[in-house]
Chain A
Amino acid sequence: MLSKHARLWLGLIAVLGLMSMASSCSKKPEGEAEGPAGTEYASKGDEGTIAGKISYNGTAPTPAKIDTSADANCAKKSPDLAGEEWVVKDGKVANTFVYIKEGTLADGKKITDLSFKAATAPAVLDQNGCHYKPHVLGVMVNQPISITNSDPTTHNVHFRPTKNPDWNQSQPNGAPALSHKLSVSEVLVPVKCDQHPWMRSFIGVMKHPFFAVSAEDGSFTISGVPPGKYTVVAWHEGAGSGTEKTMEVTVPAKGSATADFSFGATAELRGKPSSMPVVSAVEFPMMHK
């Protein structure tokens, strides 16, 4: 029915199409569940702290007003809801996840070679006023996370990790708390509500307990840190997969190390750089904050 010419073109189109599709496919890496590995850390009583403040350089972006009209229950309970990407007060930044990425204890052991008992008390993530409280949460691997719904509407809790399995549950008003555990360390697991797309939270999952989330005044404290030299990372959300700042600190025995981080109105603020440099010429000024 079709000429040889047409069949040749159709075959070429099919091959090119399949090659384009294949180039975009990537298998989502799945980490194996992490149980206790290495020597369990035993406290020697000489632990110290890492403390600091997260600040913002320049003029902080004004939080965007959230349009909650899609659900009257949300509009009634939270008429003035605003975006939480940057919560900045007097130049200090809240909701920054700070953690020890790696390092060596004073006795020569690497912190990544040690195991720590998982916290048994559940960390609570509440859906209240059609937004998550807290906005950023830190948990240990296999620590229970209790998700509650304090709103007069149905929420849909969707964990969207890259290393842990996907998890998606609906939770009507009045339903009992849901419980979930993340078994692989991951920085950070985005949580969203598929029912209310402005709702977002982030959960940092650590093998050890040395992490903190900065408060409204930008301060954070990581307690119980064994003396040693560590790489400390401050993560803040941004377009794409967030922004990280890194610092080396030395924690003395029974002492404190200071780690102050600053974020600001630079290209880094937007997370990963544009993935389309070849078409940067068509970007319009109005797209930049």
Chain B
Amino acid sequence: MSKGVHRFALVVAGATFILILAGAKVTSHDAGLATYDWPLSNGQVFPEMVGNLYYEHGHRLIAATVGFLTIVLAVYVQIRERRTWVKRLAWAALGMVIAQGLLGGLTVKLNLPLAVSSAHATLAQLFFLTTVSLAVFTSPSWISRSANLSEEGAGISIRTLGVVSLALILTQLVLGATLRHSTTWDHFLPTGLLVAHIVGAVIVSAGLTATIFAVMRRHKDEKFLTRPALVISGLLIIQLLLGLTAYITRRASPYGSQPLNPMISVTVAHVACGALVFAATIVLTLRAFRVLRAEESRQVGVLAPA
């Protein structure tokens, strides 16, 4: 185990979160096409950072930094990591960030078509999840643990609840990304997508609540599981409040002359908190697979101890 790899993975995950924040600011400021070209901005590597170009080009600079950090992480993992599947995951992360960069360029070149913009936003979250997973897999707590907790006869397993929760969150993220990119701040949000996203919030909340409840009831003394569960519960409450506030502020924005706070800050915070909920849930789910002993222990699969 290399502590250096783990720490660097944490840095990459943190930088990716900042990139998600920067990307959300681009959308909320309606800056996605502040420059018509890519990868240069108005024909320059370093244009004058004024107006919305500050957000758009700033986002590109942070993205380039994250891309570079991911290259370093992938190489670092190859050198210091013994587990083949972790090495492959690091390469997969690199592939994702390259794809993400190309998608970003495509959105600009094609004038922000909904499908491409939504895919760009979704892949951002999945890439963040991958960097968080790499941090989990390289952590000392992961490496030192083994499958020593039983769930026999406890009902739906926490592993299943975690996977289902992740799928629900991903669906909700896709809906949210599509909703955000379906129109600009000076138009009302489309009703169908808005209703679907609100219903999705209810379903995600139910799934996460069931997961958290199962963890606290069955393994209340196991901090390896209860800590991420408690983090999820706190983030979920914040995210629901942010969602309500985002809706209220976004409803008013078409009556304004420009995108303004609090709409910008709240919608960006809503995106960021959604990413953190996703991340905390993957942490819990991965840890559940790590320490919970199934009746069929062969199901642990690639998540077995190194």
Contacts and interface: CB of A to CB of B under 8 A. Distances in A.
Interface of A: 1-3, 5-6, 9-10, 13-14, 16-17, 20-21, 23-25, 63-64, 66-67, 70-74, 82-85, 153-154, 156, 158, 166, 168-170, 172, 194-198, 200, 239-241, 270-272, 274-276, 278-279, 282-284, 287, 289
B42 A24 contact: no
18 contacts: A5-B156, A13-B168, A20-B200, A21-B174, A24-B190, A24-B193, A67-B260, A82-B257, A194-B31, A194-B34, A195-B34, A196-B51, A197-B29, A197-B185, A197-B259, A275-B189, A275-B190, A275-B194
A149 B235 CA distance: 47
B292 interface: no
Counting contact residues on chain B (CB < 8 A from A), the size range is 35 or more
B192 A24 contact: yes
B154 interface: no
A24 B301 contact: no
Contacts of B255: 239, 270, 287, 289
Would you call the interface of chain A mostly helix, strand, loop, or mixed?
A: loop
Interface of B: 29-37, 42, 47-48, 50-54, 111, 114-115, 156-157, 160, 163-164, 167-168, 171, 174-175, 178, 182, 185-196, 200, 247-248, 251-252, 254-260, 299, 301
Contacts of A197: 29-31, 52, 185, 258-259
A82 B258 CA distance: 11
Nearest to A19: B196
A287 B37 CA distance: 37
B280 to A, nearest CB: 19
Contacts of A20: 171, 175, 192-193, 196, 200
A70 B50 contact: yes
Nearest to B196: A20
Given A70-B50, A71-B50, A275-B188, A21 B178 contact: yes
Contacts of B168: 13
Contacts of B178: 21, 24
A6 B160 contact: yes
B278 to A, nearest CB: 15
Contact of B171 (A13, A25, A64, A241): A13
A150 to B, nearest CB: 16
B171 A16 contact: yes
A166 B157 CA distance: 51
A289 B258 CA distance: 16
A14 B30 contact: no
